[in-house]
Structure 1
Amino acid sequence: MSRGLSNLVLLNVNHNKIRVLPPEIKGLANLETLSLTDNKLEVIPAEISFLEKLTEINLTNNNLVSLPQQLYSLPQLTKLYVAKNHLKELPEGILRLSKLRVLDVAGNRLTMFPMDFQFLHLEELFCEGNSFVQHELVESVQEMEVLYLKELAARLVLAECRRRPSFFCEALRLYPALADVLSQGGSCALCSQRFLTTWLECVQFVSLRKDMKMKSSQTVPVRVLLCSYSCFNRSGHMYYGVASA
């Protein structure tokens, strides 16, 4: 696909029946605009991360059920259109798209936005027609949790590694596989304690106007992680538990 097209800056293949975007697309190193609206795409290849000059991607009206994490490796991306697909979530780490100004996710199946979404510097957000969680408080009836030994050990190591110098941090250098596992953990939005596995998934409701300085008065749900029921049951925070039907 990319042979002889290394200087291409715009690729528009709208209104076709394209099902697969080949990994060879990584050869289009100078591509700035990619448009594949009204096709039958089901997957975006990880090789899209090679297109570091992309400023605009339009994948409206396809059959996408997920987006690759590598999409967030595009430092110049300012406009992302993925409306009318079958997305149930956006990958975590969206804050890496520091130049993103326009995001269109309308007509998907999203229930909430990924963590730190409210810190993006968006100018326009289109998100109507999704299945967002409702603003209803869910209180915990459980006052404490029972953690597995693996989780207890991981939390101890992660807590110690925040101290400098630390025996645990020095020891982890000898076990790179273990260090990689621990790096995948999360951090509590309330107490900042780090943990290995997602313990309690919550949601906060972000005002686009107040919190993101946008013109819209809409409020959207954003994912939050807490480390324990103890934090969840604290008073004074605005995080809500996600109840399953």
Structure 2
Amino acid sequence: MAERLLIRALKGGKNTKIVILNGKNITKMPSVLEKLPGLKTLYLQNNQISKVCPEISNLTQFQDLKLREFYCEGNPLFLKQPVSAIKQEDVWSLQEITSRFIMNQLAEKNPFLMKAIKWYPQVRSIISQGRKCAICEKFFLTIWLECVEFFPPSKNWKISRNLQLVPLRILICSYKCFYQRNPNIFGIAQV
């Protein structure tokens, strides 16, 4: 049944504005939703969805408000069940250490590196994949912790009355930052 609804939505392409998949026993968010750039309203209530899939991040970048309405109550996605993490020492490769240094120096507008980076297209290509830590706001390349932060939805959103917090995927550069996080940020673990 859910497959037929998705096929119908895909046929609508960029004109599809609403997708309703309530109570269909779906276990993950359909990745085909990323092919619906005009989607404004998504109903995924009362399913078995336990995490947000990376493919849907184009639609659920809450900062850009591409998706205006998102209904997903009744999914294990919103269960906040802390699990103790095993503390691991961060052992970074030489490439990770160097990339972090270069990216953070470029962010500080280091004049020497600003000039030198122009001559190294391979380095530019590598560091273009860098991301920023949600805690310390420093850059990192390949090693991070995937987390979720729960925050109250915007007053402008049309949501169910009982939805009080919305998860947002964030990345943290190290366990050092992870242990400095606020209480609304949880690490994502496979249990």
> What range is the shorter-chain TM-score in?
0.5 to 0.7
Q: How many residues align?
A: 173
Q: Does 2:63 match 1:119?
A: yes
**Distance (whole Å) between structure 1 residues aligned to residue 78 and residue 106 of structure 2:** 36
Gaps in structure 1 of 5+ consecutive residues: 1-14, 17-34, 42-47, 49-53, 58-78
The 3-state SS of whatever aligns with 2:151 is: strand
Gaps in structure 2 of 5+ consecutive residues: none
Q: Which runs of 4+ in 1 moved over 6 A?
A: none
What's the counterpart of residue 184 of structure 2? 238
What's the counterpart of residue 8 of structure 2? 37
Deviations 1:152-187 (A, max 9, x none): 111001011112243223222222232122111211
**Distance (whole Å) between structure 2 residues aligned to residue 160 and residue 227 of structure 1:** 16
Change over 3 Å in CA distance of 1:192–1:237 after alignment to 2: farther
Structure 1 window deviating more from structure 2 (149-158 vs 227-236): it is 227-236
Contact persistence 1:135–1:205 (CA under 8 A): no
Q: Does 2:92 match 1:153?
A: no
Deviations 1:210-238 (A, max 9, x none): 6x644423233221100111111116442
Q: Does 2:173 match 1:202?
A: no
Q: Which has the higher helix share?
A: 2
Offset of residue 118 of structure 1: 3.4
| TM-score (normalised: structure 2) | 0.68
| TM-score (normalised: structure 1) | 0.55
The 3-state SS of whatever aligns with 1:132 is: helix
Task: Considering Cα pairs closer than 8 Å and 6+ residues apart, tell me whether 1 or 2 has the greater RCO.
Answer: 2
Q: Does 2:107 match 1:162?
A: yes
1:1-245 mapped onto 2 (5 Å cutoff): 36-37=7-8, 54=14, 56-57=15-16, 79=17, 81=19, 83=21, 88=29, 101-105=40-44, 109=49, 111-112=51-52, 114=57, 117-121=61-65, 122-127=67-72, 131-132=76-77, 134-142=79-87, 144-208=89-153, 213-216=157-160, 217-218=162-163, 219-234=165-180, 236-245=182-191
